[in-house]
Structure 1
Amino acid sequence: MLGELDLDIRPGSGLGVFEIGSSLWAVLDMLRRMQHLFPQVDVKYDPDVSSITPVILHLRPHLDLLFSGKHQRLRTICIRRLRDISPPLILRYNNTAISSTESTLCRVEVRRVFGPTYAGDDLRYPGVWFSFEEDGRTDGLKGAPSDDKMQEVKRVFISQKDTSHDDGDALDEVVECEVMHADLALAVIKVHEGITLHFYPTGTPPVSVKIGHTTAQDLTLDIGPPLRIYHKDDQRMSIHSKDQADKDPGYFYNYFQFGIDFLLSGSDHVVRKIVLHTNIPGTPLFQRYKRCNWEIEGLPEDDEDGMYPHTPPRKRFNDRFETISHFLSPHETPPSMLLDRTDDEDNITLPGSTTRLHGYDGVILEVTEASQVASVTLF
């Protein structure tokens, strides 16, 4: 039998263990360790726009967690089926139970606990609102506004305080908040050089990682120790290389929490390659890495008189492969190799398991069948 869910409501900030602004990667990782409370998690997304689709985690039967499409951050929490007893649900606010299987949360109770608010179909407060409509009801099917004091609350929504009003878009990105601090905000790629890492909070000095210069010790000092060190023994790609240095297997520093791998030389312990992961739903590596918000930066373009360079152009992780390919190689698309990451997995079947590797000067793009770039490798 499932245990009782006892969750505290924190308007604008979260519910129980769930914090607004948390990453999809972090929340799914946490849910793996909480299967006794959430044994079934459904991941819902739009496969037609897989790289920028909002993602919904449905935790049966009470919770829906909506994550933003670009940064994959928890934006909105929906609590529903408050009276369902499988498992029983208790909602608390300021350490006081306001809803349980024994006590129904109704309009008058909400007003008593949260105070007066503006008129409307729902009772809306900064960071939290209460809906009296059942699941699946659309705007066109809403009934007339009711002032029945005993009208039962059907759903509760929690979101950021400055985005929870009627003029906010439910699919907007999450505004920077404390839970993001120390997370990677942006990785700027410079081909043949390396990457510049920008962290939250905004204003934190960026960290530069240069291929052929940055050492394992530098990485540990600048961005912390990796979550895993993996000694590379797969030499299948070395057959395509003319560089004798590629015969050195080296080892990886895996920063799953940043969506980045660094391949270091086994001899001098210097960064040789950098891999950045997009964490696209439906791909074999989904959820192994947090989304890395990467951008490839080109050379600055001079203005008409050639005196003042413009801002360097960039292509981003959500641009289609054809756009990024033309940016890297304007004249022709290089040949590709086929990769199926499920070849060694007997029990995994994915509709989009096959990707293609496109090699450019200093860059390899791993591309899905939907023309989305799943990963970028710099060398």
Structure 2
Amino acid sequence: MTSSTTTTQAQIFPGKGLGFISASLHNVLTRVKSYPQTYPAIDLAYSPADPLRNPVILQLPSNGLRLRFDGPDQRLRLIEVLEFSRVNLVYKNQDVLKGGKSAEQPLSTQGPSFRHVYNRLFGPSYPGEYVPPAEKSPYGTYVLSYPGVAFSFPLQHSAWSDQCDFVALLSSSAALPATAMSIFQGASWPEVRDKLFTQQPQYPRSSALIGKSRESLADEIEEWQVLGAGRLEVIRRTGSAVPITLGATSFQDLIADFGPPDAIYRKNDRRISIHRATGGNDIHLSPSPGSIQDGDHSSNNSVTDDSDEELAAFNIGDPTSLPAECFLNYFHHGFDAFISHPTTPGPAFPNSGVHDPAVAPPSSQLTVTKIILHGNVPGSYPFNRHRRTRWMIPLDDNNCLTSESPYNEISEQLRTAWRGYYASPTEERALRRPMVLNRGWGDSPESSVEFLGGWEETTSKGHRAGGEGQDGGLGNTEMFGFPGLLFEVLKNGAVSCLTVY
């Protein structure tokens, strides 16, 4: 596919999207990677130092598109068409450019004229905004805005005047065809420009949920609240909050609230069993393989084993067909759940007013015993396997940790909260050492990892403590533990994964 013949057709939805391009970074990138012939080049730009607070930019150079997402939630905020000749734009069955529907009528290398936009496509508009030229260019830019969409027209600076009728001016020879088009949420570009990445999104993260009822698809998760003592609360987009209690919430409860999982997986990995704590539980891995509709998880170099063959034997609708321990993978919701026989979850947070959980009695019923929340951090090894999940940990009335908090802040607050938990300062310092995980080597544990109940050493109460700081090295992630919590942390301090147990 050459640059001169790329003619992807895309319907314009003002304020919403372009074709299937809408919603979240995970949704868009998964779909785009599923069509490599249509989208042969994908460029992703983000801040290596702070990828969760700065915007993420996805550029499709062969298609003339640039997409901008906010960092914390990874919602699509702005679609820019930079080369009209590379995409066949359609609005209400009307071509934005003449030609493009047949080989005899190739797309123009220029954008639409003002007359075509004004008379044929979007109709009358309020006056737009004129941007003077930079340096000594003879052309400035006139931005013509409609609700949810705007066009940029080069305009001779010498012809511009505040007193001119903009319709007459843009219809004259002083104006050139549009060089760019933008799609955004808002009444006009000047109104939305300053709050582009901070305003409340109007639509769900998944395009599959747009216009669908709660009965047909599971409601979208907005945020997880980690309350301690094995208690979590799931804040949903439209429905009421869903409580989850580790060791009590059943497999059936999870299916009822979030729908069937995208995959069910069991894996027994012995490669790190040397780190099993004496008297503690095994170390478990959650590789999350499998596929989703229009999905592409090729960014993960999965370690091959025979457990993939076991997937066909699991009947999602029949809990009795599940193995004794397995992971339910919810790629579109951004989390995994470990299903096992009930275990006693971690203790309550100090000064939270919540009582420690009771010891779990022996039971044959399978329950949720661990929840893995994925950060989908750009640059991380499992990037784009799950959509980004946001969470918060309210320690007390004055302190609250979030999924965007740098780990040094998280570590400082948690160490202060748990200061009286350790037998001695020496024990606390010893357990501050992280475990290093290299996801890039084929013979090392890959994907989502949870080291639960096992470490090089244990405290007198059987829990691990977290640490601070990270070393240089091989670009690895590091695992830091606190009672009931396990953080996977990147070198830049971003939390890639949080496991609650």
Give yes or no for TM over 0.5: yes
**Which residues of 2 match residues 132-143 of structure 1 at below 5 A?**
132=153, 143=157
2:241 is matched with 206
Q: Please report the TM-score for the alignment, with normalisation by the length of structure 1.
A: 0.84
Q: Is the CA contact 1:262–1:271 (under 8 Å) kept in the aligned structure 2?
A: yes
Deviation at 1:353, TM superposition (A): 3.9
One of 248, 254, 263 as aligned partner of 1:228: 263
Q: Higher strand proportion, which one?
A: 1
One of 192, 197, 222 as aligned partner of 2:234: 197
Amino-acid identity (%): 27
Deviation at 1:170, TM superposition (A): 5.8
| Distance verdict in 2 for CA 1:148–1:217, change over 3 Å | closer
1:261 is matched with 336
| Distance verdict in 2 for CA 1:268–1:145, change over 3 Å | farther
Q: Deviations over 1:283-339 (max 9, x none)?
A: 10111111001111214xxxxxxxxxxx46320011111111122221466221111
In 1: Cα distance, 2:188 partner to 2:267 partner: 45
Q: Deviations over 1:73-115 (max 9, x none)?
A: 11110001113xxx4x322222111214248511222222321
In 2: Cα distance, 1:144 partner to 1:7 partner: 36
In 1: Cα distance, 2:330 partner to 2:60 partner: 28
In 2: Cα distance, 1:12 partner to 1:63 partner: 16
Deviation at 1:5, TM superposition (A): 1.6
Deviation at 1:220, TM superposition (A): 0.8
**Which residues of 2 match residues 71-90 of structure 1 at below 5 A?**
71-83=73-85, 87=86, 89-90=87-88
* Equivalent AA in structure 2 for residue 325 of structure 1: S
| Distance verdict in 2 for CA 1:104–1:375, change over 3 Å | closer
1:278 is matched with 375
Q: Is the CA contact 2:371–2:499 (under 8 Å) kept in the aligned structure 1?
A: yes
1:304 is matched with none
In 2: Cα distance, 1:364 partner to 1:319 partner: 15
| Distance verdict in 2 for CA 1:52–1:359, change over 3 Å | same
* Equivalent AA in structure 2 for residue 93 of structure 1: Y
| Distance verdict in 2 for CA 1:144–1:269, change over 3 Å | farther
Q: Say whether 1:42 aligns with 2:47.
A: no
In 2: Cα distance, 1:254 partner to 1:91 partner: 37
Between the two proteins, the alignment pairs up a number of residues equal to 350
Q: Is the CA contact 2:230–2:484 (under 8 Å) kept in the aligned structure 1?
A: no
In 2: Cα distance, 1:158 partner to 1:345 partner: 45
One of 88, 92, 95 as aligned partner of 1:94: 92
* Equivalent AA in structure 1 for residue 439 of structure 2: R
Q: Deviations over 1:95-146 (max 9, x none)?
A: 1112142485112222223213214221111111111259xxxxxxx95675
| Distance verdict in 2 for CA 1:242–1:199, change over 3 Å | farther
* Equivalent AA in structure 1 for residue 236 of structure 2: F
Is there any run of 5+ residues in structure 2 with no aligned partner, and where?
99-106, 130-141, 161-168, 210-218, 285-323, 342-363, 420-427, 447-472
2:66 is matched with 64
In 2: Cα distance, 1:345 partner to 1:16 partner: 41
Q: Please report the TM-score for the alignment, with normalisation by the length of structure 2.
A: 0.64
Q: Is the CA contact 1:133–1:155 (under 8 Å) kept in the aligned structure 2?
A: no
In 1: Cα distance, 2:236 partner to 2:187 partner: 23
* Equivalent AA in structure 2 for residue 371 of structure 1: G
1:117 is matched with 126
Deviation at 1:178, TM superposition (A): 3.9
2:198 is matched with 173
What is the DSSP-based 3-state SS (H/G/I as helix, E as strand, rest coil) of the residue aligned with 2:333? coil
Deviation at 1:205, TM superposition (A): 0.7
1:187 is matched with 224
| Distance verdict in 2 for CA 1:96–1:325, change over 3 Å | same
| Distance verdict in 2 for CA 1:145–1:193, change over 3 Å | farther
1:152 is matched with 177
| Distance verdict in 2 for CA 1:216–1:368, change over 3 Å | same
In 2: Cα distance, 1:51 partner to 1:322 partner: 15
2:11 is matched with 8
**Which residues of 2 match residues 212-251 of structure 1 at below 5 A?**
212-235=247-270, 236=272, 239-242=275-278, 246=282, 250-251=325-326
Q: Is the CA contact 2:146–2:188 (under 8 Å) kept in the aligned structure 1?
A: no
Deviation at 1:163, TM superposition (A): 6.8
Q: Is the CA contact 2:79–2:183 (under 8 Å) kept in the aligned structure 1?
A: yes
Q: Is the CA contact 1:71–1:173 (under 8 Å) kept in the aligned structure 2?
A: no
Q: Is the CA contact 1:283–1:352 (under 8 Å) kept in the aligned structure 2?
A: no
* Equivalent AA in structure 2 for residue 169 of structure 1: D
Q: Is the CA contact 2:97–2:111 (under 8 Å) kept in the aligned structure 1?
A: yes
| Distance verdict in 2 for CA 1:215–1:163, change over 3 Å | farther
* Equivalent AA in structure 1 for residue 494 of structure 2: Q
What is the DSSP-based 3-state SS (H/G/I as helix, E as strand, rest coil) of the residue aligned with 1:221? helix
Q: Deviations over 1:35-66 (max 9, x none)?
A: 22111111111112122231111112311111
Is there any run of 5+ residues in structure 1 with no aligned partner, and where?
135-141, 300-310
